[in-house]
Amino acid sequence: MELIELNNLTKVYISKDLTSFKDYFAALLGRIPEEKFFAVNKVSFSIAKGEFVGLIGRNGAGKSTLIKLLTGILTPTSGGLSVLGRTPHKSRRQNNYKISAVFGQRTQLKWDISAYESFRLIEYMYEMSHARWQSNLDRFIKMLDLKGFVYKPVRTLSLGQRMRVELCAAFLYDPELVFLDEPTIGLDIFAKEVIVDFLLQIRREKQATVLLTTHDVSDIEQLCERTMILDKGKVVFDGNTAGIAEILEMGIFLEFKCENREVKLPTLLEGRQVTSEPHYLKIDGVEKAAVPGLAQAVMALNNVLELKVEPPDFEKVLKNFYASKTFSKA
């Protein structure tokens, strides 16, 4: 079942270069040409129930505009858009009962009361049965480790604590669709680990469809099997997160630790990115299919004590993706 469907969705902003009073008067008469800015430009994709999708792009790429279109805050200029089987800007009230959102720098909880009291408000706002509410709350308190501060006023919580109660509130009423915008921004290692583990569990259980926007590529790498990259209002990549590296032919990194000091190099390594040091051999940019053959060739000539196989660094992959000729033409 497709929860989100877009067909050539477009959002255009129109501006006029007005620098003087004469320009304003001329604009009223229609004598100053309009400039069109395509914030979202003929975007088409669908997201199925239970998917966990990452959305990334540079500042100004159109991410915020796209989210506002999906939530019904903005009306599209043209194209088709369906969220939960409805047109978002025409059905905001109905969709809001089944949609949730978390924004890293903003709170949806009441500042001067405890998180627990805000959770009680959610029970009544979304007309939940008390048994269902209590069951969800008990489970999320345990998963997000909220017990020590759930009864404290939200204004007294640290950023990491507040983000954890925000996530609890976002998933408490079993929404079908959740938008997460920078949920780990500014968090310490412990808080981030708790949140990532929680979201991984949500993904495994397919409790909700999640669209995650973030500048932290490690979040995308850990949480999202599918990634969309937005640039200049267009989707320039939509596929398996690991597939970005495959498109750019960015290979795997191999490191051999050898008993022998002088590492012998097989002829298969000619033309490859090789670094040879005492007891160590490092090979970068190896295609996945070539890994077994290269490993066997090195082991045949050396007494290998340890072999490390590492996938491409995702942040490096994205930088190369932005710099690639294919991307700049998209």
Domains in the chain, ordered, with CATH? 48-245 (3.40.50.300), 251-311 (3.30.70)
pLDDT recorded at residue 26? 63
Q: Where do we find the tokens 């989707």? A: 235
Residue 24, pLDDT > 90, answer no
**Other beta carbons less than 10 A from residue 197's beta carbon:** 14
| Of 97, 51, 54, nearest in space to 72 by CA | 97
Residue 22, pLDDT > 90, answer no
Assign 182 a pLDDT band (cuts: 50, 70, 90). Answer: confident
Query: 209 with 3: CB under 8 angstroms?
Result: yes
Residue 330, pLDDT > 50, answer no
Those residues whose C-beta lies under 8 Å from the C-beta of residue 110, and which sit 6 or more positions away, are 117, 118, 121, 154
pLDDT recorded at residue 328? 45
pLDDT recorded at residue 242? 80
194: phi then psi, degrees, rounded to nearest 5: -60, -45
What is the pTM for the complete model shown? Answer: 0.78
What average pLDDT does the segment 10-14 reach?
Answer: 92
pLDDT recorded at residue 20? 66
pLDDT tens per residue across span 40-66: 999 999 999 999 999 988 888 899 899
Element (H, E) at 237: strand 234-240
Residue 16, pLDDT > 70, answer no
> Widest CA span of the chain, in angstroms?
84
pLDDT tens per residue across span 218-260: 889 899 999 999 988 999 899 998 877 677 667 788 999 999 9
